[in-house]
């Protein structure tokens, strides 16, 4: 059962990185960063409906940690998820590299290979602090949407649309800053291919997304608790009103004076 879950996570992450990073590396000069953002969103949309029923379609260590912190996944399963996600990202990166290498006279790694970075490795040369803030906050936003959209009280059939849209949105904001990670596995695959500075800066694209995911889980649990309290209070009020005798009616056992 667990093996099937982890295989689903590996395949799902493979599809996400192949679709998103593949679009950036192979077609980025044609579709621009808006197109790349949509590629990531559409890839996750497809993954959500393809493997969501098998593993939850986390395909992201930050999401897995957030789901565990929100009480929906046992912590003992987190390492298996994360290993599968990283393996899927690495496999997809190798495929993208193999395809990109088929273009004569072009080094697919020279353009950055869709890696994430700050400073001289940032698309617009944003510094480390700005990159950390951006990645933490964008991961918070994305993960909060994931937790909210997959709540049983939400319209679950539309969860994939909301989640895919949220990923595209945070990419539109974050691509100029860090090339947008919000996913440590997605960052690890390309960084292992490129090495050098991308690998040295990889720590930030684990630390910031994991922090953002954890904060999102804590905030969502607090919001969920308050909502549950209000719902319980409303139901209690409705029950009390229904049980209250109607105005002018007599209580059971009352007698009528003759």
Residues 114/21, Cβ–Cβ less than 8 Å: yes
CATH number of the domain bearing residue 46: 1.20.1080.10
* Structural domain includes residue 217: yes
Residues of the chain with pLDDT under 50: 231-232, 235-238, 247-258
The reported pLDDT for the residue numbered 243 is: 55
Q: How far apart are CA 124 and CA 197, in angstroms?
A: 16
User: Dihedral (C-alpha) 147, 131, 171, 14: value to the nearest 10 degrees?
Assistant: -70
Residue 237, pLDDT score: 47
> Tokens at residue 183, please?
């996913």
Contact 208, 136 (CB under 8 A): yes
Residue 255: inside a domain = no
pLDDT value at residue 242: 54
Dihedral Cα 81, 149, 39, 209, nearest 10 deg: -50
Q: How many domains does the chain have?
A: 1
Range of the structural domain that residue 125 is part of? 2-101+113-241
Both structure tokens of 157 = 């059939």
This model's pTM is above 0.85: yes
State the DSSP code for 6.
Answer: H
User: Would you say residue 250 lies in a domain?
Assistant: no
Predicted pLDDT at 187: 98
**Dihedral angle, C-alpha 208, 13, 168, 40, nearest 10 °:** 120
Give the per-residue pLDDT at 1. 55
- Residue 251 lies inside a defined structural domain of this protein: no
Q: How much is the pLDDT for 245?
A: 56
């Amino acid at each position: 059962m667990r093996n099937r879950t982890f295989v689903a996570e590996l395949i799902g992450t493979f599809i996400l990185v192949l679709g998103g990073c593949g679009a950036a590396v192979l077609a980025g000069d044609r579709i621009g960063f808006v197109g790349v953002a949509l590629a990531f969103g559409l890839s996750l949309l497809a993954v959500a409906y393809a493997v969501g029923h098998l593993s939850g379609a986390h395909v992201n260590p930050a999401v897995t940690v957030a789901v565990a912190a929100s009480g929906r996944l046992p912590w003992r399963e987190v390492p298996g998820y994360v290993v599968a996600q990283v393996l899927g990202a690495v496999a997809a990166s190798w495929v993208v590299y193999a395809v990109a290498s088929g273009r004569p006279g072009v080094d697919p790694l020279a353009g950055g290979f869709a890696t994430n970075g700050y400073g001289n490795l940032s698309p617009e040369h944003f510094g480390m602090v700005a990159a950390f803030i951006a990645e933490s906050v964008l991961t918070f936003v994305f993960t909060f949407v994931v937790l909210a959209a997959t709540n049983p009280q939400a319209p679950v059939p539309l969860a994939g649309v909301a989640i895919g849209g949220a990923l595209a949105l945070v990419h539109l904001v974050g691509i100029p800053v860090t090339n947008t990670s919000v996913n440590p596995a997605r960052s690890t695959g390309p960084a292992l291919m490129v090495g050098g500075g991308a690998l040295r800066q990889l720590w930030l694209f684990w630390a910031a997304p994991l922090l953002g995911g954890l904060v999102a889980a804590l905030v969502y649990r607090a919001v969920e608790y308050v909502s549950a309290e209000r719902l319980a209070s409303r139901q209690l009020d409705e029950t009390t009103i229904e049980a209250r005798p109607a105005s002018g009616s007599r209580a059971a056992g009352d007698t009528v004076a003759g």
